[in-house]
Amino acid sequence: TVSFGIDDTLEILGIKHVNEGSSTGLNQFSNGDLIKSYSPVDGSLIGSVKATTKVDYEQVVNAATSAFKTWRLMPAPKRGDIVRQFGDKLREKKEALGKLVSYEMGKSYQEGLGEVQEMIDICDFAVGLSRQLHGLTMHSERFGHRMYEQYHPLGVVGIISAFNFPVAVWSWNVALAWICGDVCIWKPSEKTPLCGIACQNMAAEVFAKNNLPEGISCLINGDYKVGEFMTKDSRIPLISATGSTRMGKTVAQVVAARLGKTLLELGGNNAIIVTPDADIKMTVIGAVFGAVGTAGQRCTSTRRLIIHESIYNQVKQAIVKAYNQLRIGNPLDESNHVGPLIDSGAVAMYQNALHQVVEEGGTLIVEGGLLSGVGYESGCYVKPAIAEAQPHFKIVQHETFAPVLYLLKYSGAVEDAIAIQNNVVQGLSSAIMTHNLREAEQFLSHAGSDCGIANVNIGTSGAEIGGAFGGEKETGGGRESGSDAWKIYMRRQTNTINYTTDLPLAQGIKFDL
């Protein structure tokens, strides 16, 4: 049994009047219909929030635009100090926020805590970065001239995030955007609106304590139509969107039509290549966590195992054995490995994938299916499944956001496995399990994996915040989080200064008056 006080948790996170439409800070501008948040854990109504109307949205944009005027003038390291305080607030409320993430989204409590840890880590990263927003200096071709570049704040950044990482993905964007001098408007997934309110409350407390306007962090609620207020709005120079490829294509077209910038983090179809030299024990841990962690609802979830024929049976048996030990149930009970899917729509897509793989000629070797009975009343708990399949199957080419793992066989050299891996439209995460240096380096070479993330002897999910996160092809090409991902949140300016009494033109052009 699980002892879980949702009321206490909501209180710690400052979420009140949850069934009349939670209102807090800028969310007071929300006057639309109620969005009800049901927990996939037990099916109960946790609370509801009011959607943002077009009129509300105008007020939010005004609040953001006016906050930007103050915020952009604050020295970046001082902005870093505000982000440091926000990180401290997250440390203080880590347990409560981790629980709400787990209860509202359905991932295990450990993964909920892990998600909040990612937020804390990106805050630390951003604090250091606030003193390192470096541009280059160049040598001018003209005498007595100096040339350099600097990065200026961009403005209002729109963030559209998905249900599966209801708080961390927002934090990767805001922590960087804030130190860069931008203000943000966030539309969290309508499936996890209370996580949004909890984060907004924490940010608002930090801004109030520092006499800063809450408009530095704004929250809007609703479905894709509310997202459209932002994508069509030329007052928002950058839209960072995480979600399905279908959503990303729409967002990209609408924003491109007004020549705005996008940062897209879309679907993956991540594979682990298992070579004859793989450590089987490590492979099993990496593959099983990758495939069933977060119930297969990470964009980095492992969807395909590409196994060499010489060890195929051995790997298959080891993985099937591990699947038989999985405990599925309430994610707040720490003895369970796998929680529910987000909702009945996700269950239907999962069931469709199992049906389709068989229809295309695949074989289910771990059956799967919807669980019912005590503890499974929400109707969202499914059994992780494994199918033996062929790389070209339509369903194998497609990202199903559920715990369905496809086993694919390769013969021959590692190039054959790499070709299978790359032969999908998505390009997010990839991995190889091998002790063979040649194979590992081939996988990482120019002719190797075409993904944004390529790991050796690690699974496909669970990336650290210090690296740039994102992928190629239909994954959208954006990079969030670490490395130099901050640059997209700023506008670059090239400055040339003449400190002579002449005005020589570049390229040696003479223009005598």
H helices of 72-192, where?
A: 76-92, 94-105, 109-129, 168-179
Footprint of ligand UN1 on residues 138-197 (CB under 6 A)?
164-165, 169
Residue positions counted in the chain: 513
Which of 240, 300, 378, 434 is the binder for ligand UN1 (CB under 6 A)?
Answer: 300
Angle at 90 between CA 86 and CA 94, to 5 degrees: 180
d(CA 433, CA 274): 5
Q: Would you say 362 or 478 has its CB closer to ligand UN1?
A: 478
Amino acid at position 458, single letter: I
Q: Would you say 164 or 434 has its CB closer to ligand UN1?
A: 164
Q: Would you say 296 or 391 has its CB closer to ligand UN1?
A: 296
Quick note: the x/- pattern for ligand UN1 over 103-142, rule CB under 6 A, is ---------------x------------------------
Q: Kindly state the smallest distance separating residue 268's Cβ from ligand UN1, in Å.
A: 8
Quick note: the x/- pattern for ligand UN1 over 240-259, rule CB under 6 A, is --x-----------------
d(CA 68, CA 75): 13
Q: How many CA atoms lie within 13 A of 206 on its CB side?
A: 21
| Residue 449 touching ligand UN1 (CB under 6 A) | no
Point out the residue whose Cβ comes nearest to ligand UN1: 463
Which of 298, 337, 409, 479 is the binder for ligand UN1 (CB under 6 A)?
Answer: 298
Q: Would you say 45 or 285 has its CB closer to ligand UN1?
A: 285
Question: Total binding residues for ligand UN1 by CB under 6 A?
Answer: 11
Q: Residue 270: beta bridge partners?
A: 302
The interface region with ligand UN1, picked from 134-142, 251-259, 294-302, 348-356 by CB under 6 A, is: 294-302
Angle at 482 between CA 480 and CA 484, to 5 degrees: 85
Q: Would you say 165 or 486 has its CB closer to ligand UN1?
A: 165
The residue to which tokens 């809007």 are assigned: 220
H helices of 165-219, where?
A: 168-179, 193-209
Which of 127, 463, 488, 490 is the binder for ligand UN1 (CB under 6 A)?
Answer: 463
Q: Kindly state the smallest distance separating residue 120's Cβ from ligand UN1, in Å.
A: 13
Q: Would you say 44 or 483 has its CB closer to ligand UN1?
A: 483
Residue 384 near residue 366 (C-beta atoms within 8 A)? yes
Q: Kindly state the smallest distance separating residue 162's Cβ from ligand UN1, in Å.
A: 6
d(CA 74, CA 183): 12
Q: Would you say 191 or 298 has its CB closer to ligand UN1?
A: 298
Burial of 359 (0-12, 13-18, 19+ CB in 10 A): exposed
Cα→Cα distances 197→70, 183, 244, Å = 24, 17, 23
Q: How many CA atoms lie within 13 A of 74 on its CB side?
A: 25
| Known active-site residue 104 | no
Tokens of 280: 């089987």
| Residue 291 touching ligand UN1 (CB under 6 A) | no
Q: Choose, from 265, 439, 474, 480, the residue flagged as catalytic.
A: 265
Q: Kindly state the smallest distance separating residue 172's Cβ from ligand UN1, in Å.
A: 9
E strand map for 245-346: 261-265, 270-274, 302-308
Q: Which residues bind ligand UN1 (CB under 6 A)?
A: 118, 164-165, 169, 242, 298-300, 461-463
Catalytic residues: 265
